[in-house]
Chain A
């Protein structure tokens, strides 16, 4: 869940990160008033949940309230990557002598948070990593120990920063880590941190993303920021298919059969269990497959729920086959899933033996599941076939247009 820049900065401010004076303006008149209040040159920035603001004309400068009103009017009219700005952030503008980069995110490979710091801020950090690796440090956090001031200093000093700058930047990095951990973020980024002509350090731009699952935990924070439950912060509005998927999940409290995301491919996916959805989706893509959808199923959904999701996926135009694949399941029952999937396929007017490219759900009540699948001519694939191999088989069957079994 992405936050607007002004919201991200509110979070940073709570943890002591120095920031420019700022106001959010919803109209050109608001922007003029804000500029007058701030009493000097300002930068006006589109508040839109997208990158590429500068290139799109969503960032402008003004020296007077009149100029600010003009700039705000122009910014508010610009759609960026299909998104309308919710307002304009008006910030005091100082002379920046040097820019730095700091971020905290998850390193999935190492399974720990990582602090990324560079003394070359304001530009694409991937470009810095590629062309100036000596100017970028990666410092992993412990999942057990609290983050220390020493580690913050280490992250900064690894790029060669010393002295007073080291001390002041380390404090900002330490605060950024606090923000990352306190709000269950997946990314907390300041780019750039600016060293102003007077020697002050301020966070000039910030981007934070919160783990979607953490919305409930931070309901009070979100309410305080004025973010209602219905504000999903998704990159695009949900499709009819996705809305129907959400309705399937909401209609029955038993288990999970939702988080449906629509794609344009021909292979329907019924996937899940213990992180299996992402792994299996990637495996299908890696095998050259073209998924029709992403979804998450698990937690022992009812037969009706599994059937409804299957029917939805099976009914999507262009979907000839579905791949039913899960990680090894313990609390989800293979036989219940088999019943639901077969029922959904039949209700969609299709033959399970033809439509199910692969059924790979190893785990509890496996023997009973096999009996059900055999009855309908569907081959059962057990845990001796890896998730990647199962995905490969499904993609091959979808490409060949042959039935399962």
Chain B
């Protein structure tokens, strides 16, 4: 169970196969995984997020990294 980081994926990402593949490729700690036609987050890797922002650079507002310790 992730304690520190949550990643929200907007539905618009699911409509864009190229973006889904890009997000799955760029995350250095494998937070995103392709499951058929969908992009999912890998629960066990969420807390490893290094806040590198590569996903945000790729997807803009369609991906949100939430620091749970700031809430």
Which residues of A are in contact with B by a Cβ distance under 8 Å? Answer: 302-304, 333, 336, 339, 342-343, 346, 368, 371-372, 375-376
Minimum distance in angstroms from A311 CB to a CB of chain B:
13
Pick 19 A–B contacts, CB within 8 A, sort by A. A302-B29, A302-B48, A303-B48, A304-B44, A304-B47, A304-B48, A336-B50, A339-B4, A342-B3, A343-B3, A343-B4, A346-B3, A368-B51, A371-B67, A371-B69, A371-B70, A372-B4, A375-B70, A376-B69
Q: Is the interface of A mostly helix, strand, loop or mixed?
A: helix
Nearest chain-A residue to B49 (Cβ)?
A303
Q: Which residue of B lies closest to A368 (CB)?
A: B51
Q: Which B5-62 residues sit within 8 Å CB-CB of chain A?
A: 29, 44, 47-48, 50-51
Q: Which residues of chain B have C-beta atoms less than 8 A from A336's C-beta? A: 50
Q: Which B residues lie within 8 Å of A302 (CB)?
A: 29, 48
What is the CA–CA distance of A303 and B70 in the complex, to the nearest angstrom? 18
Query: B3 — which chain A residues lie within 8 A by C-beta?
Result: 339, 342-343, 346
Residue of A nearest to B46 (CB): A303
Q: How far is the CA of A372 from the CA of B67 in the complex (A)?
A: 9
Interface footprint category on B: 10 to 19
**Known contacts A346-B3, A372-B4; is A339 also within 8 Å of B70 by CB?**
no
The interface residues of chain B lying within 8 Å CB-to-CB of A304 are: 44, 47-48
CB of B47 within 8 A of CB of A303, answer: yes
Least Cβ–Cβ distance between B10 and chain A, in angstroms: 25
Separation of A372 and B44 alpha carbons in the complex (Å):
19
Contacting pair A372 B69 (CB below 8 A): yes
Chain A proximity of B71: nearest CB distance (Å): 9
**Which residues does chain A contribute within 8 Å of B48, judged by CB atoms?**
302-304
Question: How far, in Å, is B55 (CB) from chain A's closest CB?
Answer: 17
Across the interface, name the chain B residue whose C-beta is closest to A346.
B3
CB of A108 to closest CB in B, whole Å: 36
Q: How far is the CB of A388 from chain B (nearest CB, A)?
A: 30
Residues of B within 8 A of A339 (CB): 3-4, 47
